[in-house]
A and B are shown apart, each in its own frame.
Chain A
């Protein structure tokens, strides 16, 4: 079956623009995670969904970042008024069970460049 997919794979935005990044998790996976990976660094947790409920958004760096998963499947990460420091690879992961003990399956990421 298909793995986790993300779109677009690459996005260039001018500073101040809004962007929306999409994640299609593996079908039936309960948990969905978003991470931000800056160049040369490890991924940093942004937010976690269990089905449609956003249980943890402690990693979102500012109120310009917003994530949703309205039907418990596809998720969208939105960044408003993008800034240069938002340039990074945004990773989505899903897992079958609840919480983090289950293996997370990662998508290829969306590389965002803010100019």
Chain B
């Protein structure tokens, strides 16, 4: 079965320092992968998606992610954290049933300290 693992439930960084949010997936086929962000009291928003084109994907707000098939990873990074980046981040992969459902990881809560 398809599954998504986010290794850290909570990450805390200082403003201006790099961000790394880790994601690993399991799949028997080359997937599409996504990162979504959920700010408090706001809807989920797509940050970026990988769809078998370039392995380094750039998203909104300076975030990017690199797809590494050999490591089955899709880690999210940002060179310099901003206070407004504090939110919950979800790594998302397609499910196997009909290819039409999403499988969300458990989420990583990012805190940004002044």
Question: In this complex, what residue of A is CB-closest to B95?
Answer: A45
Query: With A and B bound together, what is the CA distance between A33 and B36 in angstroms?
Result: 15
Which of B44, B45, B46 touches A43 (beta carbons < 8 Å)? Answer: B44
* B104 close to A56 (CB less than 8 A): no
Chain B interface SS verdict (over half)? loop
List which A26-59 residues lie within 8 A (CB) of chain B.
33, 35, 41-45, 48, 55-56, 58-59
Q: Interface 1/0s, chain A 90-115, versus B by CB < 8 A?
A: 01010000011101111111000000
Assuming the A-B contacts A103-B46, A103-B49, A106-B43, are A56 and B100 also in contact, with contact meaning beta carbons closer than 8 angstroms in the complex? yes
Q: B99 to chain A: which residues have CB within 8 Å?
A: 99-100
The count of chain A contact residues (Cβ–Cβ below 8 Å) is: 26
A70 contacts chain B at the CB level, 8 A cutoff: no
B103 contacts chain A at the CB level, 8 A cutoff: yes
Q: A58 to chain B: which residues have CB within 8 Å?
A: 97, 101
B32 contacts chain A at the CB level, 8 A cutoff: yes
Q: Interface 1/0s, chain A 68-107, versus B by CB < 8 A?
A: 0000000000000000000000010100000111011111
A4 contacts chain B at the CB level, 8 A cutoff: yes
Assuming the A-B contacts A43-B44, A91-B44, A109-B43, are A104 and B102 also in contact, with contact meaning beta carbons closer than 8 angstroms in the complex? yes
Which of B32, B43, B98 touches A3 (beta carbons < 8 Å)? Answer: B43
* A100 close to B100 (CB less than 8 A): yes
Query: With A and B bound together, what is the CA distance between A107 and B105 in angstroms?
Result: 19
Which of A35, A104, A105, A108 touches B42 (beta carbons < 8 Å)? Answer: A108
Assuming the A-B contacts A3-B43, A100-B94, are A42 and B105 also in contact, with contact meaning beta carbons closer than 8 angstroms in the complex? yes
Q: Which residues of A are at the interface with B, using a C-beta cutoff of 8 A? A: 3-4, 33, 35, 41-45, 48, 55-56, 58-59, 91, 93, 99-101, 103-109
